[in-house]
Structure 1
Amino acid sequence: MNFTEHQQNITAQYCFPDNNSSCIKEVRGGPAYTLLFIILSCISVSTVVLNLLVIISISHFKQLNTPTNLLILSLAVADFLVGLFVMPVKIMELADSCWYLGRLGCYISPIINFLSLTASLCSLIFIAVDRYIAVSDPLLYSTRVTVCKMSILIILGWSFSLFYITIYLYFNDHFLPFQIRCYGECVLYVKHFWVTIDLVIFFIIPCSIIVVLYAIIFKVARRQAKAVRAVTNGLSQNQGDKVSSSSETKAAKTLGIVIFVYLASWIPIYLSSMAVENVTSVSLVWTVFGWLMYMNSSVNPLIYAIFYSWFRESTKYILSCRIFESTSSKINLFPEHL
């Protein structure tokens, strides 16, 4: 052994110094990384808090136990898992190249990661379908879409996500011990073939469904706005134009926000991953573009809940601890409907 190699062995840091097969530690420090960790930690906390508010609101207040809100609840649970488990683990991996959660944790972590993301995506699709039925056939909506049917649909969506993820990880040899080269490593190698399959099943098809359904919703909203304009035209032309314009603008904003956030979060990682033969979970592609997908979980509660008046009202009751009152679950969150 020459002097240079000896010096490298002395200064090298290992994940587990007492283990001969330990991986070499790569510590990322400095002001830039410290600021990055603070920002990502704030995103993680805000994701947990926002989605937890949605979960408590819909679960506690009986007035919010509707089929549509069950879908928002499912979405919030999936996004809550991203903020509570996925983001902290990814922050840990950014701060230190070592894996400290053990072999079992290495097996379970990708399952929670992909399950939360795919379940969130399934919820987005179900929300688009639910809104399409509500807009296209509002008179029969209450009979066609019930709480029981929606609960079964949500369970099936989560079950399909878990089944697909298990198959996905199995055929990418994630559960084989030889994938780990040294103690303190947790890397998922994704074959190019499965990147293509995942692109079709969890991007192209869902994206097409969401875009088509919201496009139809937008057209129906415009048609309904024209009908309102025709009815109110005899009373006040200006009032009719105002109502029509407001309806069209609201539909356009909802459509634009949903599609933009969804595409902006998922397109980069799929396009970049298609450019390489094999993708690893520690690659720069998964690190940067993966966080775009995770941040979508922070934006979802803002899009689907925070713009609703019931969310603002329920949040006041939760933060003031008034939900612990015996009759709080029966509180009317829509006083304007009285």
Structure 2
Amino acid sequence: MNITEHQQNITVQYCFPDNNSSCIKEVQGGPAYMLLFIILSCISVCTVFLNLLVIISISHFKQLHTPTNLLILSLAVADFLVGLFVMPVKIMELADSCWYLGEFWCYISPIINFLSITASLCSLIIIAVDRYIAVSDPLLYSTRITVCKMSVLITLSWSFSLFYNIIYLYFNGYFFQFQIRCYGECVLYVRHFWVTIDLVIFFIIPCSIILVLYFIIFKVARRQAKAVRAVTNGLSQNQGDKVSSSSETKAAKTLGIVIFVYLASWIPIYLSSMADENVTSVSLMYTVFAWLMYMNSSMNPLIYAIFYPWFRETTKYIVSCRIFESSSSMINLFSERL
């Protein structure tokens, strides 16, 4: 009996040994887990760094202060929060089953998590509407969509995201029924009813709107491309319109890729949420699909880097610290070759 107790003292560890109600610590070790932690940590760092480049680029360079780029900035801020706050916490939870950040941060963590995710979706919806107006009515776009109007719209979208997530957590008993089985645990329990509501409000309806708008955008863009080729036929006076139309079409295609990547990242976690009546944030399936969703925040800056020449140009200025030079914010980023 004494030998058995001695073996238990060696193998069993607690999150807080001085607390009688402490949770049992489950440490994930071994070379495979170490490699996984290193990979996920690198993804987190890259997500923060790449989205910070987007934020600095659009904020610093005056030429990028356009309504569409403000939406990209909003999306980058949401992705930046994912890389800075959400990913490190999830890595900590994978490495050790204990929650060391205290009860306050256990309350705040889901709010930051859900806020960044829902704000991303709101930004993508507004981006789809913005591209639809730009492609379908390009002559009136500059008068209908201004920087001031877009700033107000982005502020409203973030406010709505915050309000919805507080209501979501409140009605799942997160604030007044802190459900923990032992000290050192932080688990979010979501009722199946609210999973269904969230599926409709923040997946089915937004995704339907986005897909319908982009279907219309591509039809209009293709029709305009044919019209431009038929009318211009090499006439120099219409080259500006041709370039403008080509630019709008390219922007629509680029942001369409962003939408596709986003949907591919979101569909698995919603399907898994609907499969289980009681969804918890510590289940293996939820963890895998959640990380697939989080890594979407790393993909968007890479898409910009591939398709947007201005992002590559601003990155050179930022990395070389040339943005600290006087009048660097007034640099012309759109040369003939861009």
Question: How does the TM-score come out when normalised to structure 1?
Answer: 0.92
Which stretch of the first structure deviates more once superposed, 78-87 or 249-258? 249-258
Give the aligned partner of residue 22 of structure 1.
22
Question: Partner of 1:202 in structure 2?
Answer: 202
Which digits, 9 at most, give the CA deviation of each residue in 1:46-102, with x for residues without a partner?
111110000000111111111111101000000000000000100000000000100
SS in 1 for 2:190: strand
Give the C-alpha shift of residue 284 in structure 1: 1.2
SS in 2 for 1:139: helix
* Paired AA for residue 162 in structure 1: L
Aligned to 2:54: 54
- CA offset at residue 140 of structure 1? 0.6
Q: 2:83 is matched with which residue?
A: 83
2:193 corresponds in structure 1 to 193
2:321 matched residue in structure 1: 321
For structure 1, which segment, 25-34 or 222-231, has the greater mean C-alpha deviation from structure 2 after superposition?
Answer: 222-231
* CA deviation after TM superposition for structure 1 residue 166, in Å: 0.2
Query: Match of 2:130?
Result: 130
Alignment partner of 1:112 is 2:109: no
For residues 233 and 66 of structure 2, what CA distance do their matches in structure 1 show? 35
How far the C-alpha of 1:229 sits from its partner, in A, is 2.2
Indicate the residue corresponding to 1:33 in structure 2.
33
Contact preservation (8 Å) 2:266, 2:293: yes
The equivalences for 1:220-259 within 5 A come to 220-233=220-233, 254=254, 257-259=257-259
TM-score by length of 2: 0.92
The one-letter amino acid of 1:283's match is S
Is residue 273–residue 285 contact of structure 1 (8 Å, CA) maintained in 2? Answer: no
Q: How does 1:141-156 map to 2 (within 5 A)?
A: 141-156=141-156
Q: 1:5 to 1:172 in 2, by over 3 A?
A: farther
1:313/1:254 CA distance change after superposition, 3 Å: closer
Change in Cα spacing, 1:8 to 1:42, as seen in structure 2 (3 Å) is same
Deviation at residue 285 of structure 1 after TM alignment: 2.3
| DSSP 3-state at the match of 2:336 | helix
Two-structure CA RMSD over aligned residues (Å): 2.6
| Distance in 1 separating the partners of 2:228 and 2:39 | 46
**Residues 99-150 of structure 1 deviation map (CA, whole Å, 9 limit, x = unaligned):** 0100001000000000000101111111111111100110110110011100
Aligned partner of 2:60: which letter? H
How far 1:177 moved relative to its partner? 4.8
Q: How far apart are the structure 2 equivalents of 1:260 and 1:302?
A: 14
Distance 1:259 1:60, change over 3 A: closer
Q: Spell out structure 1 runs of 4+ moving beyond 6 A.
A: 246-249
- Superposition map of 1:149-164 within 5 A: 149-164=149-164
Deviation (angstroms), 1:257? 2.4
Identity %: 89
The answer to whether residue 178 in structure 2 is matched with residue 181 in structure 1 is: no
- Structure 1 counterpart of 2:310: 310
Unpaired segments ≥5 residues, structure 1:
236-242
Secondary structure of the equivalent of 1:336? coil
Pick closer, same or farther for the CA change 1:273–1:215 going to 2, 3 Å: same
Q: Assess, with a 3 A threshold, how the Cα gap between structure 1 residues 254 and 329 changes in structure 2: closer, same or farther.
A: closer
Whole-angstrom CA distance in 2 between matches of 1:262 and 1:135: 22
Q: Answer whether contact 2:217 2:252 (CA < 8 A) is retained.
A: no
| CA distance in 1: counterparts of 2:182 and 2:73, whole angstroms | 41
2: CA distance between counterparts of 1:134 and 1:280?
42
Q: Specify whether residues 155 and 251 from structure 1 end up closer, same or farther in structure 2 by C-alpha distance, changes over 3 A only.
A: closer
What is the rounded CA distance, in whole Å, between the counterparts of 2:194 and 2:221 in structure 1? 39
* Residue 239 (structure 1) aligns with: none
Task: Please say which of residues 176-185 and 36-45 is displaced more in the overlay.
Answer: 176-185
Q: Equivalents in 2 of 1:255, 1:90: separation in Å?
A: 28
Q: What is the Cα deviation at residue 182 of structure 1?
A: 1.1
CA-CA distance at 1:260 after TM superposition = 2.9
Residue matched to 1:271: 271
Hey, what does 1:287 align to over in structure 2?
A: 287
Unaligned 5+ segments in structure 2 are: 236-242
Cα 1:136–1:104 change in 2 (3 A) is same
- 2 CA distance for matches of 1:69 and 1:258? 14
SS at match of 2:279: strand
Secondary structure of the equivalent of 2:139?
A: coil
Aligned to 2:238: none
Q: Which residue of 2 aligns with 1:240?
A: none
Q: Distance in 2 between matches of 1:248 and 1:327?
A: 29
CA distance in 2, matches of 1:305, 1:118: 24
Contact 1:221 1:247 in 2 (8 A): no
Letter in 2 for 1:168: Y
Aligned twin of 2:240: none
Hey, what does 1:101 align to over in structure 2?
Answer: 101
Question: 1:284–1:208: structure 2 CA closer, same or farther, 3 Å change rule?
Answer: same
- Tell me the SS of whatever aligns to 2:54: helix
Q: Please report how far the alpha carbon of residue 42 of structure 1 lies from its aligned counterpart in structure 2 after TM superposition.
A: 1.0
